[in-house]
Structure 1
């Protein structure tokens, strides 16, 4: 009898163990299904572990939340901070730091908090291509790269041939840590207002087209740009464009006509008119439009730039004009048959405030909203050649705009502005992942 009771206990224990094992398997299966149904689950947990306190930022010295809300007290405190040279110096990172730090790429990417995994399937299946033209301040560039980096995207970096060797070494060392970041195959010697700025972008366009990445849109930047949208924000807006391009393109004003009416050449290091020598008419009687150097264009547009015989003829005609980066893209955008282009009618003119590519404050367009001539509020930072170098006080207005990027930022002028903007973007990324979950 005792033996029988012992056998029954063992049998019941075995049955209970089997039931518990089955329940565990069922739970694991359910968890697995949950992760499959929600691909962002692991991304969210990994991103949460990365954290958001910027290792370069004045975390304890300023209140970014209040700054983004435009609170006067927080803005005044930030302004006072940037007036102290010692504060600026304490956050400066020399170029050689990146050469040494990138010798251990794994540690570099982890310590600098790069997002090295796709944050969503939507972004993973819509890769972007970047061309970034730089000539100094590796710290500015590295913060820009970190803010826009995603493993599914691809990045072509053009360093001015005139740049200091220490700067080139810093950028190439950085690029070597990422399989999807590369140095352009042909560098240009950048001359202000000359064709070299456009050629640098075209060189990157050709290199990007030669990669295996099936990127959808091309975005060109300089080292003092910074995003004001997350990668997911950009992808969703570009999906809505559905192959259309977004850039400034307007009829050329009378004051700018001389730029394309006379031949220009390099004179003692400056791009100047060649003794009043007049140019012939544009090829195919193309009307010339004006815009700026920065564009959001489809892959098909880029292919046309490299292959369309009309565009190739226009490129040759434009090479000896003044400030060609402000005419070439705007003109191609109005050419019939170019993918994503628009008609030449003035009804299709697009200003820089309506184009999504880049937000810039020019000093002559600043003013109070009550002024009929003002386009945007006064710069809260400083000005360089008429362009606002943003301060922390510009952020509240800036993040409400539709643009993808803003220019100019400078860590040597207002590191608080970049720090708070990057923190805002990281927090927005986390919020977007939580919404998806």
Structure 2
């Protein structure tokens, strides 16, 4: 073999060795990356040196009376409240470095499973105060494949708007709605806020599967993976409260209403009957609906007529969605016969403890362990065990200023459950 042949042979040998080395490095890198990615322990909320962690959440959720009482006593102390509270200004300062904010607040930086990544969700969150409530809700439901539209009430304090803007700026898939309204309790504006987000989310991305509307004092009872699997079971259907309209509430849509000085008032003026002979049903403000349902709401002429007709009614959020769910032709509709009615306890969209349904034995819910606001239970730590036995995806209401430990224990429970699930996939 000549000198030229030896050189060529040496060249190919070196080339093959080089390619083998590169391939080995690549395989090793993928392995190391996967190992790092699968080590989720740093995302858990355990061992955070957080003031909220003075209580044993596992015992609280299991109903340990001594631990529950200790948590209740701790929650009412002024020092504890000051330690656990994050002010609007603090959020603005924390988000000056977004990477550090996302890391220290432990937002999920990647999808926890291929199943979740392939099934993105769209959220509307209506907020008017209590930024800390909102931020902890966002963190609890956040996943990079999902989309989040935040509607901030135009009458919110400036510090609230600035803090939410600062938080939102740290995420590519979270945004404040372009069209914001002044939300008046029981008026059309509450529906309009959700409609604005619904429209923006629909045209923002074509891949998300379900739309879920929330308010700033909601909190999840299920992990993102559990929510995805619950929605898959709907098989394209929707879930919301929808029942026959009680006789005492018919004035809400039979009489014209006006907003006067921030309050909805009933007039003596009769309204025209609902358009197209549509039958009105009673329900709640919250829903879990498919992308096809969302498209129908935004594009169908009959739905648009019903929306226009509903503008001067009282609390249209408590009948519009429920009515649409019973309209033939609407994707996922259910028949209008009373046998097909769905109560709030049978819908998976929201768990709410109404004061007049609380009690013992045959009551709908056990007594509220927190406080009542507008006849709704603001949950305390003593409610968690019962709550997590229910089938709902979300619960309302929570308040970090009243009981931060209740939210903390839910956060810890859900995050730990989400990370544990990944080991079994």
TM normalised by structure 1 equals: 0.89
User: Out of 318, 335, 341, which is 1:349 matched to?
Assistant: 341
**Separation in 2, partners of 1:291, 1:82:** 34
Q: Assess if the C-alpha contact under 8 Å between 1:40 and 1:120 holds in 2.
A: no
| Partner residue in 1 for 2:4 | none
User: Out of 230, 235, 252, which is 1:259 matched to?
Assistant: 252
| Partner residue in 2 for 1:358 | 350
1:301 to 1:27, Cα distance in 2 relative to 1, 3 A: same
Superposition pairs for residues 293-312 of structure 1, below 5 Å? 293-312=285-304
2:243 counterpart of 1:250: yes
- Stretches of structure 1 that go unaligned for 5 or more consecutive residues are 1-21
2:366 counterpart of 1:377: yes
Q: CA offset at residue 88 of structure 1?
A: 1.2
Superposition pairs for residues 57-68 of structure 1, below 5 Å? 57-68=50-61
| Partner residue in 2 for 1:122 | 115
| Partner residue in 2 for 1:229 | 222
**Separation in 2, partners of 1:60, 1:30:** 38
1:28 to 1:307, Cα distance in 2 relative to 1, 3 A: closer
1:398 to 1:40, Cα distance in 2 relative to 1, 3 A: farther
Q: Assess if the C-alpha contact under 8 Å between 2:253 and 2:271 holds in 1.
A: yes
SS at match of 2:399: coil
Q: CA offset at residue 42 of structure 1?
A: 5.1
Q: Assess if the C-alpha contact under 8 Å between 1:390 and 1:417 holds in 2.
A: yes
**Separation in 1, partners of 2:309, 2:49:** 46
Q: Assess if the C-alpha contact under 8 Å between 1:40 and 1:119 holds in 2.
A: no
2:51 counterpart of 1:49: no
| Partner residue in 2 for 1:72 | 65
**Separation in 1, partners of 2:47, 2:336:** 47
TM normalised by structure 2 equals: 0.92
RMSD: 2.3
**Separation in 2, partners of 1:164, 1:56:** 31
SS at match of 2:149: strand
2:233 counterpart of 1:240: yes
1:25 to 1:285, Cα distance in 2 relative to 1, 3 A: closer
- 4+ aligned runs moved over 4 Å, structure 1: 24-32, 39-42, 54-57
Superposition pairs for residues 158-237 of structure 1, below 5 Å? 158-237=151-230
User: Out of 54, 60, 76, which is 1:83 matched to?
Assistant: 76
Cα deviation per residue 1:265-289 (whole Å; 9 max; x = unaligned)?
0123210112x10011101111100
Q: Assess if the C-alpha contact under 8 Å between 1:53 and 1:59 holds in 2.
A: no
Q: Assess if the C-alpha contact under 8 Å between 1:334 and 1:343 holds in 2.
A: yes
2:378 counterpart of 1:389: yes
- Stretches of structure 2 that go unaligned for 5 or more consecutive residues are 1-19
2:415 counterpart of 1:426: yes
Superposition pairs for residues 130-141 of structure 1, below 5 Å? 130-141=123-134
**Separation in 1, partners of 2:28, 2:51:** 44
